[in-house]
Amino acid sequence: MALDIVSHGRRGPGGSVLTPEQIEQVSRTVHRAPEVVVKVSGGARDAGGAKAHADYIGRHGKLGLETDEGERVVGRDAGARLVADWNLDLSRGQYRPLSDRGRDTRPKVVHNIVLSMPGRTPPEAVLEAARTFARENFALQYRYAMVLHTDQAHPHVHLVVKAEHECGGPRLTIRKAMLRRWREEFAAALRAQGVPANATPAPLRGRATGGMKDSIFRRLRALADAARAPDQPGRTPVGSTFMRAKVERIAWQLQQGALPVEPGLARLQATRQSIIDDWRSTAQALRRQGEEALAREVERYIQAFPPVRTDAMRIAERLQSRWAESGATRGAAPDPGSPPPPQVPTEPSPRVP
């Protein structure tokens, strides 16, 4: 049974003939076409928060906000005008009191979405694809506004979408399946602009389902800085969240000489093996359809998959790298009283014939 790549790695209901669209996506994937990014960057639970976000993405009046009605809202009062036009003050959920535990469980009045492409993608193509994406998903249902940012390495569009339906329909609730579909639609809109773009789920590309959170990277940098200059004021890492505590726990385990093998590693290995088996079936289907060259590329593609790593293993590897760098920077060997960091435990990689 061939890999049903369009259905995110699930096996197809029957048969093993790949459609032209599936063959095209296989080709884009093995040739590593740029992967689109569609992510929810948060949202506001009241009109004030929505105004603040609109002002922020509009750079406080320097950039114009393009609305679903084709209007360009410009000026320092753009956020306030958007809130008024969308009647966000009338969203009743924002006036609910906080829960007894102080948690803010109010429904969002707007969702903040980011549409981005890596590499040197033409900014106007990203904006035009974002227009198509927003129009096809939200027009005449949910009010929205967008703005293109080009001040970073990758051009990206900030899209603000009102959560309440304009005609009394269901509120906009964003689920994982919806995000997967949105990635595919945004990639298709970019390809319509002549931009190579792909939307293959990360596990099918031999990658983890998600990267380490920014807080982990910041914690690793802080630990490295403290190791390089332990006597300098302000170098000692401060504060502790759950993720930061996780980094510290892994560092302690390494210093004790062992990093326990996580129970989830076996599950990740089994998932990887299933994906590889499906890719092999896809290669066989390609051969039956006369796509010998692409079948060979599929086989080379899965052979290049990196070993499976849990978050803890990746954190441990980064810590070891930071420790090695700090030792080299000081020009001295590590403290003999501290045991050398052990190797991160590994398990055999899935078989790739």
CATH number of 86's domain: 3.30.930.30
Which residue(s) pair with 65 in the sheet? 73
Same domain, 162 and 210: no
Q: At which of 178, 197, 216 does a domain end? A: 197
Cα–Cα separations (whole angstroms), residue 1 to 5, 22, 303, 352:
12, 14, 20, 17
pLDDT value for 261 = 72
Same domain, 103 and 153: yes
Q: At which of 151, 168, 197 does a domain end? A: 197
Report residue 41: phi and psi, to 5°: -95, 15
Tokens for 271, please give them. Answer: 């998932």
d(CA 343, CA 168): 58
- Averaged over successive runs of 10 residues, the pLDDT of the chain (353 residues) comes to 50 67 95 96 94 96 96 96 96 83 88 93 97 98 98 94 96 96 98 96 80 53 57 51 74 77 84 94 95 98 91 81 66 41 44 45
In tens, the pLDDT along 74-88 reads 999 999 999 999 999
Same domain, 17 and 65: no
Q: Cβ–Cβ contacts within 10 Å for residue 256, how many?
A: 10
Same domain, 214 and 158: no
Same domain, 77 and 136: yes
Q: Cβ–Cβ contacts within 10 Å for residue 321, how many?
A: 13
Q: At which of 176, 197, 218 does a domain end? A: 197
Same domain, 191 and 98: yes
Q: Write out the residue range of the structural domain in which residue 272 sits.
A: 1-32+205-353
Same domain, 291 and 333: yes
d(CA 44, CA 52): 9
Same domain, 66 and 145: yes
Same domain, 55 and 98: yes
Same domain, 16 and 39: no
Of residues 192, 177, 197, 190, the one with CA closest to residue 25: 197
**Between β-strands 65-67 and 144-149, what pairing exists: parallel, antiparallel or unpaired?**
antiparallel
d(CA 251, CA 220): 10
What number of CA atoms fall less than 13 Å from residue 319's CA on the CB side? Answer: 26
**What are the contacts of 91-95 at 24+ separation with CB within 8 A?**
91/46, 91/47, 91/163, 91/164, 93/45, 94/45, 94/46, 94/47
Of residues 243, 263, 259, 262, the one with CA closest to residue 251: 259
Same domain, 271 and 302: yes
pLDDT value for 119 = 75
Contact status, residue 151 vs residue 119, Cβ threshold 8 Å: no
pLDDT value for 240 = 46
Which residues neighbour 60 within 8 Å (Cβ) at sequence distance 6 or greater? 76
Cα–Cα separations (whole angstroms), residue 41 to 110, 115, 182, 186:
11, 10, 15, 17
pLDDT value for 309 = 83
Tokens for 323, please give them. Answer: 């420790």
**Residues listed for the chain:** 353
Burial of 283 (0-12, 13-18, 19+ CB in 10 A): buried
d(CA 3, CA 278): 5
Same domain, 176 and 43: yes
The structural domain count of the chain equals 2
d(CA 316, CA 325): 14
Which residue(s) pair with 73 in the sheet? 65
pLDDT value for 167 = 94
Which residue(s) pair with 114 in the sheet? 39, 158
